[in-house]
Amino acid sequence: MDAKGWNVKQYTEHNGEQTKSAKKFFMFYADLLKDLYGDDPVTLIDVGSGCGRVLVNIILKDSELKFSKVVGADKCTKMIDHANKTYGSDELKFHLMDVQECVPECLKSLKFDILTSFYCLHWIHDLKKAFNVISSLLKPGGLFLCVFLKKHFLAGIYSALAQKYSPYMDNYENKFSELLFLDNADEVIKGYLTECGFEIVEFIDVKNDLCDLNSEAIMSESLEVINPFLSAMPDTLRKAFLQDQIEVSYKIQTGKKNPFVIKRRIFYFIAKKL
Ligand SMILES: C[S@@+](CC[C@H](N)C(=O)[O-])C[C@H]1O[C@@H](n2cnc3c(N)ncnc32)[C@H](O)[C@@H]1O
């Protein structure tokens, strides 16, 4: 995503599939977390918290943990403003933070028991740097729970359009984690975690996760909302780009029974800071 960040309204309207998937992952570990922490108060930070809905409606509402401090962090000002306006309170604050850079002053003195991150880290090019920042936010023994998109048809779309829209899409790969383009991403990610001082508790590679976008209208909106190149384009080019995105999507999905069901590969993992 670009300096202007995400369109918050569009994002909140179209992240239903992602929210469902985040819930499935988090609830899978709810018992493990309850066994580990019981009724002890725990501190949690959600990195790439976006509009805040997953943090509030899933992590806070559905887990049976007792939280003493909860923080959301995101690099997009619009997301942070929206989250603070919608969910912010004395107990829950959302802070600007780029996890690829460093921990902001206001969070430096805090160390958390749990750090969650849903559908954020595939946007990060320098994952090793992000893992070091994540490690510095956790207490020793703290848990890092992550949902990481390994493969997305977005990468195929952008690679097909990069040349045509080259002034806006130069080095488009840098907008994503390098791992999106590697066959052995699972080994690389595990290596980075180990190098950054984590022990892997569980690593699940879901090779055929299906995301049902349901219709061309939703597919089109979903592709628009997460597009990191559009905001720099003039209006006419933007329209052409959106149309091209749809055409390339249909090409990629040729032969599929339902062109709106997208196959993704996702890594779910839990790692413990040593
Ligand atoms: C797809 S949204 C996911 C939001 C939320 N976790 C959810 O599941 O609905 C990805 C979020 O990651 C944030 N993000 C991307 N790069 C980031 C970075 N380097 N540091 C912090 N947040 C980042 C974006 O601003 C966006 O809000």
Residues 139-183 have pLDDT tens digits of: 999 999 999 988 777 888 999 999 999 999 988 888 888 888 888
Q: Write the residue with the smallest CA distance to atom 10 of ligand 1.
A: 120
Q: Whose CA is nearest to atom 4 of ligand 1?
A: 50
Question: Is the CB of 119 within 6 Å of ligand 1?
Answer: yes
**100 touches ligand 1 (CB under 6 Å):** yes
State residue 6's pLDDT score.
Answer: 61
Percent with pLDDT over 90 in the chain? 65
What mean pLDDT do residues 67-95 have? 94
Sheet with 198-212: strands ordered across: 92-96, 66-74, 41-47, 112-118, 138-151, 261-273, 198-212
- Asked if residue 103 lies in contact with residue 136, where contact means CB atoms within 8 angstroms, the answer is yes
> 2 with 95: CB under 8 angstroms?
no
* Pairwise CA distance, residues 129 & 153, whole Å: 26
DSSP state of 160: H
Q: Three-class SS of residue 114? A: strand
Indicate if ligand 1 lies below 6 Å from the C-beta of 120: yes
CA neighbor of 177 nearest in space, from 226, 231, 129, 242 = 129
pLDDT at 10: 67
Backbone φ, ψ for residue 188 (5° rounding): -65, -45
How many angstroms separate the alpha carbon of residue 226 from the centre of ligand 1?
10
Whether residue 118 has its Cβ less than 6 Å from ligand 1? yes
Percent of the chain's residues with pLDDT above 70: 96
- What are the pLDDT digits (tens) for 86-121? 999 998 999 999 999 999 999 999 999 999 999 999
Which domains can be identified in the chain, with CATH numbers?
8-152+176-212+262-273 (3.40.50.150)
Please state, in angstroms and as integers, the Cα–Cα distance from residue 60 to each residue in 72, 85, 92, 146, 209, following that order: 12, 17, 10, 16, 25
Distance 25 CA to ligand 1 centre (A): 17
Q: Which two three-digit tokens encode residue 11?
A: 């994002």
Expressed in angstroms and rounded, the spacing between residue 257 Cα and the centre of ligand 1 is 31
Determine the Cα angle at 116 with ends 23 and 102, to 5°. 150
Residue 127 beta carbon below 6 angstroms from any ligand 1 atom: no
pLDDT the model gives residue 2: 40
Q: Which of 4-8, 31-35, 154-158 is predicted least confidently?
A: 4-8
pTM over 0.85: yes
List, in sequence order, every residue forming a beta bridge with 147; answer none if it has no partner. Answer: 118, 268
Q: Which residues of 25-38 are buried (b: 16+ CB within 10 A; e: fewer)?
A: bbeebbeebeeebe
Q: How far apart are CA 50 and CA 84, in angstroms?
A: 11
Residue 195 has pLDDT above 90, yes or no: yes
Mean pLDDT of the 226-246 span: 91
d(CA 268, CA 266): 6
Residue 99 CB–ligand 1 contact under 6 Å: yes
Mean confidence (pLDDT) of the chain: 90
Q: Is 43 in the pocket of ligand 1 (CB under 6 A)?
A: no
The predicted structure's pLDDT at residue 3: 42
Mean pLDDT of 24-46: 94
The one-letter amino acid code at 123 reads: W
Q: Whole-angstrom Cα distance, residue 120 to residue 122?
A: 6
pLDDT of residue 141: 97
* Residue 168 pLDDT: 93
pLDDT over 60 (residue 274): yes
* 67 alpha carbon – ligand 1 mean position (Å): 22
Q: Hey, which residues does 200 pair with through a beta bridge?
A: 271
For ligand 1, is residue 22 a contact (CB within 6 Å)? yes
Label residue 14 by pLDDT band (50, 70, 90): low
Site to probe by mutation for ligand 1, drawn from 7, 17, 75, 87 as the one with most ligand atoms within 8 Å of Cβ, is 75
Ligand 1 binding pocket includes 154 (Cβ within 6 Å): no
**Is the shortest distance between the CB of 98 and ligand 1 below 6 Å?**
yes
pLDDT digits (tens, 9 = 90+) for 127-139: 999 999 999 999 9
pLDDT at 94: 97
Residues 58-91 as b/e (b if ≥16 CB within 10 A, e otherwise) read: bbbeebebebeebbbbbbbebbbebbbeebbeee
Q: Residue 136 and residue 1: Cα distance in Å, rounded? A: 25
Statement: residue 221 has pLDDT above 90: no
Nearest ligand 1 atom to the CA of 226 is 1
CA dihedral 35, 41, 47, 48 (to 10 degrees): 90
Distance between Cα 254 and ligand 1 center (Å)? 30
- Pair of tokens at residue 60: 């806070």
